[in-house]
Amino acid sequence: MTDSSAVLGQERAAVADSCRRLGAAGLLIGTAGNVSVRVEGLVAITATGAVLAELTPDQVTVVDLDGKIVDGTLEPTSELDLHLGVYRRYGTGAVVHTHAPMATALSCVLDELPCIHYQLLAVGGTVRVAPYATFGTPELAESVITALDGRSAALMANHGALTHAQTLEKAVEHALLVEWACGVYQHAAALGPPRVLDEQQQLAVIEAAIARDYGTTHPVPPAQEGTS
C-alpha cells in the first residue's frame, strides 16, 4: 500500500510496479538495472542494492535534479548521474536501464542494432551502441547520453540497454521492444546476414503509420441507415 504522505508516492509505486513487470519479463536480474520517473524537478529512482523483481515503493528514493535526496531512507542507484544526465539533456519523463540478456549479448558484438523491423522506428530506428565505460562513472553517462541523440534507446557496450520516454509506461514498452528486436536480430543472424530496412522503406512506414493512426484502436463505424 502506498504511503500517500510520501513525496511522489504514486510515482514511487509506479516505479516499483514497472520493475516487477520488467523482472517478470526477464529484463531485470537481481539488483542489476535501474528505473526512474521525473515529475518536474524531482525524480523517483530505484535504490542501490534492491532486488528489482521484488521492488516495493519504500525502495524507491526521491532526488532533485542535482542528485540531492529529498525523500527516502535508501541510497539511490549508482547510475543516478546517468539518469539525471538524460533528464537534463533531453527533458524526458522516465528512464529504464536493464541488463536484458539479448540486448546485453548484442552490445558485446555490434556497433549498432540496425533497423531490421519497422517497430524499431518507435525508438528512432537504428539503436547505437555506446562505447564501454565502468558503471556509475561520468564517462559512461556521457557515452550513453551521446548515443541517445535523436533516439529513445541505446545499447551500452558489454553492459545492457537504456530507454527513455515521456511516460514510464512508454519507457518500459521501449525496453521490451528493444529486447524483442535484439532477439529477432540474433535469430536472423544465425540463419544469414539480416536484411535491413533502408531509408526509403523506413519513411514509407512512417507515412503509413501517420495515415492509419497506427498503434491506436479504432471503433467500427455504425452501419449506415438503409444498408443491410
Which residue from 45, 48, 35 is spatially nearest to 65, judged by alpha carbons? 45
Among 40, 75, 79, 142, the active-site one is: 79
* E strand intervals along the chain: 34-39, 42-46, 60-64, 69-71, 94-98, 112-113, 127-130, 153-156, 160-165
Q: How far apart, in Å, are the Cα atoms of 137 and each of 79, 115, 178?
A: 8, 29, 24
- Per the rule left: phi > 0, alpha: psi between -120 and 50, beta: everything else, 87 is alpha
- Alpha-carbon span 161 to 154, nearest angstrom: 6
- Alpha-carbon span 117 to 109, nearest angstrom: 19
- 79 assigned to active site: yes
Q: How far is CA 67 from the centre of its chain?
A: 21
- Alpha-carbon span 181 to 167, nearest angstrom: 21
Q: State the catalytic residues.
A: 79
